[in-house]
Homo-oligomer: A and B are copies of this chain.
Amino acid sequence: MQSNSFSLQAIGIVRSPLKNPADAPKQGGEGAPEAWIELKERFLPALLGMKTGQEILLITWLHQAKRDILQNHPRADKRRPLSGVFSTRSPHRPNPLGLHRVSVRAIEGNSLLVFPLEAIDGTPVVDIKSVSHTSDYGLP
């Protein structure tokens, strides 16, 4: 019998000048700043091979999002039709995972400087992946 719930652990945390969601752009490409990803020390070996200039995908836990919202108006714009959260990028969703494509601008010890990142200061980071040009850009 397959379990239906799983325990995610924070691997690190976002350190950003963005302090609250009202100040944050909706997506990274819309004027988001640089931010540091501070990894927990014990996960440092998992960075082996990471390079400045590399593009990566961060998965965060959007700790201020609401988990009981299944439909809303995209970008909180009431002129847009009501949509299911699974057909949008709403932060509010049953599992509030954030997905962020960023460039690595610096690596210092257990911290990565990344750009652009719309997640606010204190957001837990749960995964980091390299960008895969065959998988992430879709079929030709």
Contact = CB atoms under 8 A, between A and B. Distances in A.
Interface residues of A, number: 65
Nearest to A124: B2
Interface in A3-28: 3-11, 13, 27-28
A116 to B, nearest CB: 8
A127 B47 CA distance: 25
Contact of A138 (B82, B87, B101, B135): B101
A71 B48 contact: yes
Given A50-B87, A71-B45, A135 B6 contact: no
A54 B86 CA distance: 12
Given A43-B94, A128-B86, A135 B2 contact: no
